[in-house]
Structure 1
Amino acid sequence: MRSTRPVIAAALAAGALTGALVATPAHAAEYASSLKIAGVQYDAPGRDNNSCTTGNTKAEFVTIKNFARTGTVNLKGYVVKDAAGNTFVFRYNHYLEPGDHVKLRGGRGTDSDGGNVAYRNNCNFLWNNDRDTVRLIKPTGAAADTHAYTKSANDRDGNGFITFHG
């Protein structure tokens, strides 16, 4: 009897390992891209006003981060899209070093690698204040990262900001 317990324990451990290995592909698929949506300021502070001169669309942004340990990523050709199909395409070189991020802001401004900012050059709000989906799409058309949110379920403190990949 004693000799069968280690065999049973080993079989159970192998089964648990197999279960863990089976679960890995779904997790790995989510992280197939080193670029992730780190967070979204979907509701700009203050009263919504999409005027290019006096509005607050610059305060609405999505943060994209390079979670890779090595390897710089050029955002040129990447697309940010909402549930309604509104899109922004990074048309110029914007490099993210490992661990670096960029805030894609509404409104007009000058893109800056050093300042970690890019502007949509559009003064309309992109993200809905009640619910929306934020998509990051690779230049190939494949999904890099996607997050749906609702204000009631995801913004517990009500500040209009949601963190995704901490």
Structure 2
Amino acid sequence: MRIRRILTAATTTGAVAALGLVAAVPAQAAEYSSALKIKGIQYDAPGRDDNRCSGGNTKNEYLTIKNYSRSTNVNLKGYVVKDAAGNTFTFKANHTLQPGDYVQLRGGRGTDSDANNVVYRQNCNFIWNNDKDTIYFYKPGGARADVHAYTKTANDRDGNGYITYHG
């Protein structure tokens, strides 16, 4: 015996609309199972962009990563930060974040410092676009820890070049 189900137009329309809403949710709305998340980004360094290693302002472009766990220390070694164009930075040294602690991943050259919560990319080129970009953050095993897309016009209401994600 076959059972037939007849869907009314209203039911079908509602189901299609619900599916459309699910498909329209942006990728950055998903929460990933990671204690470390992107807290914010200074995607547009103050002043005129100058990527000279000496005298430039790439050090003023940075990504802030925070440990949102209440009880777990997390070592950044092996975590990867990437932009939409495929520019990649891998944390190669041990840098442990205690619960509530953060680190700023800065452009330019410098000395990494646990005391000052800073790691330098050792690259004087800017990584983040000033108009729009996507920030990907991956765990050492390759699983996505966090992701955010931004546009200057939609996400930086005050125009200061800084966007906050996870408070």
**Fold match by TM threshold 0.5:** yes
1:112 corresponds to 2:132: no
Deviations 1:115-149 (A, max 9, x none): 10000000000000000001110000000000000
Which stretches in structure 2 are left out of the alignment for 5+ residues?
1-29
Structure 1 position 152 matched with structure 2 position 153? yes
Inter-partner Cα distance in structure 1 for 2:74 and 2:81 = 15
State the Cα RMSD in Å: 1.7
SS at match of 2:146: strand
Query: Which consecutive unaligned segments of at least 5 residues does structure 1 have?
Result: 1-28
Identity %: 72
- 1:140 is matched by which residue type in structure 2? G
Q: Deviations over 1:65-102 (max 9, x none)?
A: 00000010000000000000000000000000000000
SS at match of 2:48: coil
Map 1:53-72 onto structure 2 (within 5 A).
Answer: 53-72=54-73
TM-aligned CA deviation for residue 114 of structure 1: 1.1
The TM-score, its normalising length taken from structure 2, stands at 0.82
Shift, 1:31, TM fit: 4.0
User: Which protein is richer in helix relative to its size?
Assistant: 1
Distance 1:164 1:134 in 2: 11
- Which amino acid letter does the alignment assign opposite residue 131 of structure 1? K
Runs of at least 4 residues off by over 6 Å:
none
1:112 Cα deviation after fit: 0.7
Alpha-carbon distance, 1:39 to partner: 0.2
**What letter is aligned with 1:155?**
D
Mapping 1:40-119, distance limit 5 Å: 40-119=41-120
